[in-house]
Amino acid sequence: MKIVGLITEYNPFHNGHLYHIQQAKRTTGADAVIVVMSGDYVQRGVPAVMPKRLRAESALECGASAVFELPVCYSTGSAELFAESAVALLDQLQIVDSLCFGSECGDLDALSEIADLLCQEPKDYRSLLKKHLRNGLSFPCARRKALKEYLPEKNFAALLDEPNNILGIEYLKAIRKLKSTIKPYTILRKGARYHDQELSTENLSSASAIRSLLSYSGSSLRKYDDLPKGAFDDTAPFNIFGELESQVPQCCLKLLKDCHKVSYPIYQNDFSLILKYKLLNKYPENLLRYMDVSEELANRICSRLNYFFNYKQFCDLLKTRELTQTRINRALLHIMLGIKKTDVEEYIDGGYHFYARLLGFRKDREKLLTRISKESSLPLLIRLSETETIPPLGRKMLRNDMLASNLYTSVVTDKFKTAFQNEYKQKVIKI
């Protein structure tokens, strides 16, 4: 059995993701698809719009064979850390033959060439990069500029304008760095670009556009108050599903309908008070221990806390030329979730992963799990009550994952007035 690995967020799952699964199988000739997915918090440094199990189930309904959770300290890390840890997880499963990722360019050779260059970091390139960083550019900008100047004849810099190209390059770097035998493939992304806010008429909207649609669904009770009376009545969600129908695969539409306003949508601002509580009475030196918190950012957080109105507005407030929005999102999230620099360094030094946390699988692919149990270098984690085979460092990581998920679930259940279920007791999805 040939197995392809996909690295995903599915925030939320849409037609483009279905296409990705189908094309990945076709391109690589795989019979099974193993997905590594962000949990309840995603790489932009924000909570996912819906819980991980709902997103995993959507993917399974649409053809994924098994979905594994990327630990929260990685799923909310820089593109580099996200990619490296996700590739490491696929690699350590030991049964994945290939990795297939979508990119805006669809050109594996070009992406590989950039990846090699970034891995080697030739001296001239490095001094260009340093110069731009010194001048106050953010890392992504400095890198793009340095690359453009280092290889002016190639159009590489333009490739770095596209988020999926960038992630693709990181996957390729990771494969190289980890000396993985996983064979990379890329497919051309169709339809919308990542940041598009408008729904596409070609049925391939970006996840970002779909999230934006969901945010109109009046899910936040407070939103209603700002609206003219009658602007949204009880039928509003169904109109929204009318819109969604063309953007989301049929196979998961029912699931999304059933769970709407029961377990999603969830936004950054649903965590406003929690973040504020965590930041109260803190000094910059208390915040520096958390991942992605620089001295400059720690100072800004403390000096501007009096102007905190809500989570999103506070992120905007902290922005500077050097500090990207995503970096700020991540830093605040890491503070809130207690994700510390030293812990993450320890995890990375320890080999990134200590368990493979299964969120769900298709029963017709159950044999995959048997193979993983036998061949993988990681314990297959199905029940959180069975962690004997996980080393202490891994258990620490798992505790942090559980805290993050229990917090997310607490916010969900508080928002929609539903019963809380501890992560510890959640079951693996089988369909």
Q: Give the amino acid at 86.
A: A
Tell me which stretch binds a copy of itself (CB under 8 A): 65-73, 150-158, 174-182, 416-424: 416-424
CA-to-CA dists, residue 164 to 102, 390, 418, angstroms: 7, 33, 36
Collapse the DSSP code of 270 into the 3-class scheme (helix H, G, I; strand E, B; otherwise coil) and give the result.
Answer: helix
- Contacting residue, 134, 342, 388, 419, with a copy of itself by CB under 8 A: 419
Among 274, 288, 348, 384, contact with a copy of itself (rule: CB under 8 A): 274
281 assigned to a ligand binding site: no
Is 390 a residue that touches a copy of itself (CB under 8 A)? no
139 makes contact with a copy of itself (CB under 8 A): no
Q: In the window 151-210, what residues touch a copy of itself (CB under 8 A)?
A: none
Measured distance between the N- and C-terminal CA atoms of the chain, rounded to whole angstroms: 20
Question: Which C-beta is closer to a copy of itself: that of 201 or that of 281?
Answer: 281
| Rounded CA separation 294/105 (Å) | 33
Helices (DSSP H) in 151-271: which residue ranges? 156-159, 163-177, 207-214, 221-226, 236-245, 250-259
In angstroms, give the least distance from the CB of 241 to a copy of itself.
Answer: 22
- Of 319, 391, 414, 427, which one interacts with a copy of itself (CB under 8 A)? 414
Q: Which is nearer to a copy of itself, 392 or 419 (CB)?
A: 419
Q: How far apart are CA 147 and CA 247, in angstroms?
A: 36
HEC states along 233-250? CCCHHHHHHHHHHCCCCH
- Asked if 365 contacts 66 with a C-beta cutoff of 8 angstroms, the reply is yes
If the CB atoms of residues 238 and 309 are measured against a copy of itself, the closer one turns out to be: 309
Please give the single-letter amino acid code of residue 50: M
How many of the chain's residues bind a copy of itself (CB under 8 A)?
31
Least distance from C-beta 280 to a copy of itself, angstroms?
5
Among the listed ranges 58-66, 71-79, 249-257, 401-409, the one in contact with a copy of itself (CB under 8 A) is: 401-409
Residue 164 phi/psi, 5° resolution?
Answer: -80, -30
Q: Which residues between 200 and 259 bind a copy of itself (CB under 8 A)?
A: 221-222, 225
Closest CA to 206 of 331, 102, 60: 102
- Is position 8 annotated in a ligand binding site? yes
Contact call for residues 39 and 402 (beta carbons, < 8 A): no
Residues that bind a copy of itself (CB under 8 A): 221-222, 225, 272-274, 276-278, 280-281, 305-310, 399, 402-403, 406-407, 410-411, 413-414, 419-422, 425
Binding positions for ATP are 7-20, 102, 164, 189
